[in-house]
Structure 1
Amino acid sequence: MRDPVELRRQRILAVVESRGAVKVSALAEELAVSVVTVRRDVEELARAGRLRRGHGTARPVRDPAGPPAVPSPRAGETPGDGGAVALIVPERHSYLYETLHGARTVLEDAGIRIALHIAPQLAGAERPLAERALADGARGLLIAPRWRSAESEEQDYGWLADVGVPTVLMERRPRPGSALHALDSVCSDHWYGMHLAVEHLLSLGHRRIVLAARDDSPTARTLRAAFADIAAARPEVADWPVVLSSPDAVPGPGPSGAGQQPAGAVPEGAPLDLAALLRERGATAAVLHGDVDALMLVQRLAESGVQVPRDCSVVAYDDVVAALGSTPLTAVSPPKADIGRAAAELLLHRLSGAPGAAGPVRRTQLLPALKVRGSTQAITLATD
């Protein structure tokens, strides 16, 4: 009996040869299988030179009005023999630039040409850049969308799921069950990073901890949810208010999800008077995200007569510039460059045509580390 996979691929070939260009999503609906399954079939057929891949489409090898297509590289060929790999990252995002540089080293070592695209700070800015890269012949995509709000994230799911070339998300983890749930991704385990921060402060005797965090990225939203989850589960945490770390740390004119704050949260406003909040709540420690906001808040604490770590222990989250403050900040350090390297290695694997290259979708998480510096210390008196 013929393998069902080969039967399905024969049906794909028959449809493409009879109709010309066909959308991958339409093939998936017609064959009653997932888009991911059809995309893999199309990739394998393209590698074998039996059809061509387009932006979310499958095309016959020979168009009626054009010459035959050049097949994609086969197993054993040099990955760099094909087109460029497109890298798309947001502008003015030092955290993700470290991720980009990690990916760059892997791709350059493999002889892959890189097409870098910087997305401006506008909703939906990544899509036209991806379309341009694909039109220019990009054969793979590494992308870290800004996704300032949950709504903007959802809006990108549809087109990203139908890109038509191997794609890996960097430092992004789509909502479970969404159209992108089955897209390759490599990201930090930010829940574990927040766990490291809270456990460190608890080990030093702190029981009232403030989280001052951003709310304008998937990382920020994950950290806020993780802090609420971890603090609520630890009975020794007496109080855990949540506030914005900066007045511009929201996706729009107001915080995303306003009115749905975790238990123990305080109303979010601008600017944040962290010293007053610490006094009001009797807090002795704070977790601050991101680094620049953390350094500025520590400066304001000093101006208000609150010394770090004597009066307040501080853990920063990001560790891009946390060590450069007048008081070097203890920080949770996500493996930024390693995220880029792992994402690039996964993409190269998908592009290689080697056995298993079209295997199961991979959702990889790397663990952050805690860098203990001079901004945290044990307390000697009970705070309750």
Structure 2
Amino acid sequence: MREPVDRRRQRILAAVQSRGAARVRDLADELQVSVVTVRRDVEELTREGRLRRGHGVVRSTLPAQEIPARDLAHGDRVAVVVPERHSYLTETLHGARSALEEAGMRMALHIAPQVAGAERPLVERALADGARGLLLAPRWHTLAAELADHGWLAELEVPTVLMERRPRQGSVAHTLDSVCSDHWYGAHLAVEHLVGLGHRRIVFATREDSPTARTLRAAFTSIGETHPLLEEWAWTLISAQAGREGPYTADETVDLPRLLRRVRATAVVLHSDVDALMVVQRLADDGVRVPEDCSVVAYDDVVAALGTSPLTAVSPPKAEVGRAAAELLTRRLREGGQQPARRVELLPRLMVRGSTRRADGTHGTDEGGASAQRASDE
């Protein structure tokens, strides 16, 4: 005998409320009815305000404290979406994977091509395949691309954590969970290390084609404008292809060796460290020796230590960001309901190597540099 509609809907409601969230496909299997039937029931329960539905997932509308916590099912899947050819995030992925494996969850990796809006269809596909949560690091070449994604990100109905990404304050996606490196602090470490070595004229050459790059430009600009010991500073793109937020002035795209001479800079901070290694080669071709003529600090520390002359570098906690994001996501999945959003920041470290020296030409480090060097050797 076919089960009455009202009874079936009560069973759906009870199942979702007991877990906090459930997949439509799982509910259909449990009730031994078609997915189409469950979708119709869910639509009606949603119209009545008793459920909320998203991409293949149904959530309870009960207050969080009324929804009991649940254990994670072994083998539950989490989708991870990252940009293609982004070496910075490799360590982040390893950190996330280890934390998810410890929690008994599977990681399904999706690689987004370098085109605007590439992440959304990958997320929709992952959710249709049954992903219970999301770890996302959208490329966001420009601020406009970031803002264009905020609407659909804010409407996701599964737990979602952004890695090394943080929506702008007041945006519709402001309340998404996120785990980031504190890049302002990273910029601060670089400047204080160089100032501690007696450098008073510094050039900042960075990318401006990602949220991290935009944050770094803002941080270096703020520090440069307010630091009491800097006599002169300047910012420029590290390469003509590294900027997406233009138009840029001639001073912001000037050839780096020329800018160093104009500022009479004795030090430069370079983002990213892949670009930094190439810049050091260019400086050598131009007769600028590192560190004898110019001290260099790289930012990212992905390959900074691998050059012919290993570079002093700011090292964001890449693996720890991935681990913390995965742990936050699994906590969300266990808790159910609607807990306050969390915005986690982890501090970078400075790894002192051979590309920096005192401005007077002698070897030695400031106190912070010496401490960082010991940390890198441990």
TM-score range, shorter chain: 0.7 to 0.9
Whether the 8 Å CA contact 2:78–2:131 is kept in 1: the answer is: yes
SS in 2 for 1:80: coil
For residues 237 and 45 of structure 1, the distance between their equivalents in structure 2, rounded to whole angstroms, comes to 63
Counterpart residue number, 2:71: 77
Task: State how many pairs are aligned.
Answer: 324
Partner deviation per Cα, 1:18-53 (whole Å, 9 max, x = no partner): 9xxxxxxxxxxxxxxxxxxxxxxx9x9835158756
| Residue matched to 1:204 | 197
1:134-189: CA deviation from partner (whole Å, max 9, x where unpaired): 11111100000000000000000000111110000000111001011111000000
1:48 equivalent in structure 2: 18
CA distance in 2, matches of 1:209, 1:106: 40
Q: Using the alignment, how far apart are the partners of 2:20 and 2:70 within structure 1?
A: 18
Cα distance in structure 1, aligned partners of 2:84 and 2:332: 27
Instruction: Answer whether contact 2:72 2:333 (CA < 8 A) is retained.
Output: no
5 Å-filtered alignment, 1:170-209, equals: 170-209=163-202
1:267 aligned residue (251, 255, 261): 251
- Asked if the contact 2:19–2:69 (Cα under 8 Å) also holds between the matched residues in 1, the reply is no
Q: Which runs of 5+ in 1 are unaligned?
A: 1-13, 19-41, 55-60
Matched, 1:126 2:119: yes
Distance 2:16 2:201 in 1: 58
Question: Would the aligned equivalents of 1:79 and 1:352 in 2 still touch at CA under 8 Å?
Answer: no
Within 2, Cα distance between the matches of 1:213 and 1:51?
Answer: 43
How big is the shift at 1:273?
A: 2.9
TM-score (norm. length: structure 1): 0.78
Match of 1:4 in 2: none
Letter aligned with residue 77 of structure 1: D
Match of 2:50 in 1: none
| Structure 1 residue 103 displacement after superposition | 0.3
- Conserved in 1, the CA contact under 8 Å of 2:312 and 2:352? yes
Q: Please name the residue that 2:131 is paired with.
A: 138
Aligned to 1:3: none
- Whole-Å Cα distance in 2 between the matches of residues 228 and 116 of structure 1? 36
Is the counterpart of residue 350 in structure 1 residue 332 in structure 2?
yes
Matched, 1:334 2:316: yes
CA deviations on 1:87-129 (whole Å, 9 max, x unpaired) are 0000000001211111011111222111110000000100000
Q: Alpha carbons of 1:311 and 1:64: their partners in 2 closer, same or farther (altered >3 Å)? A: closer
SS of the counterpart of 1:89?
A: strand
Residue identity (%): 61
- The separation in 1 between residues aligned to 2:103 and 2:115, in whole angstroms, is 33
Q: Which residue of the partner structure matches residue 53 of structure 2?
A: none
Contact 2:298 2:312 in 1 (8 A): yes
Find out whether 1:280 has 2:262 as its counterpart: yes
Q: Contact (CA 8 Å) 2:23, 2:130: kept in 1 or not?
A: no
Distance in 2 separating the partners of 1:79 and 1:229: 47
Partner amino acid, structure 2, of 1:167: T
Check conservation: 1:275, 1:304, Cα contact below 8 A.
Answer: yes
- 1:66 maps to 37
For residues 131 and 20 of structure 2, the distance between their equivalents in structure 1, rounded to whole angstroms, comes to 19
DSSP-derived class of the 1:351 partner: helix
Pair 1:258 & 2:252 matched = no
Q: What is the one-letter code of the residue matched to 2:356?
A: T
Per the TM alignment, residue 65 of structure 1 is displaced from its structure 2 partner at its CA by: 4.3
CA distance in 2, matches of 1:145, 1:198: 29
Equivalent residue, structure 2, for 1:39: none
Distance 1:65 1:196, change over 3 A: closer
| Unmatched tracts of structure 2, length 5 or more | 1-5, 25-30, 43-56, 60-66, 362-378
Distance (Å, rounded) in 2 between the aligned partners of 1:257 and 1:175: 20
Equivalent pair of 2:23/2:58 in contact (CA under 8 Å): no
Moved more, 338-347 or 98-107: 98-107
Q: 1:318 to 1:130 in 2, by over 3 A?
A: same
Residue pair 1:85, 1:113 contacting (<8 A) in 2 also? yes
TM-score (norm 2): 0.79
Q: CA deviation at 1:74?
A: 6.5
Please state if 1:307 is matched with 2:300: no
CA distance in 2, matches of 1:208, 1:65: 67
Matched, 1:363 2:363: no
Indicate conservation of the 8 Å contact 1:49/1:71, yes or no.
Answer: no
Amino acid at match of 1:336: K
In structure 1, the partner of 2:83 is 90
- Superimposed CA distance per residue, residues 244-280 of structure 1 (whole angstroms, 9 cap, x where no aligned partner): 11221123xxxx0536x8xxxx6233xx532222112
* C-alpha distance in 2 between matches for 1:344 and 1:325: 32
Determine helix, strand or coil for the equivalent of 2:82.
Answer: strand
2:134–2:159: 8 Å Cα contact kept in structure 1? yes
Query: 2-side partners of 1:228 and 1:145: how far apart?
Result: 25
Two-structure CA RMSD over aligned residues (Å):
3.0
1:292 and 2:281 are equivalent in the alignment: no
1:225–1:338 Cα change, 3 Å: same
CA, structure 1 residues 247+49, in 2 after alignment: closer, same or farther (shift >3 Å)?
same
- Cα gap change, 1:71 to 1:65, in 2 (>3 Å): closer
SS at match of 2:274: helix
Counterpart of 1:248 in structure 2 is 241
Aligned to 1:151: 144
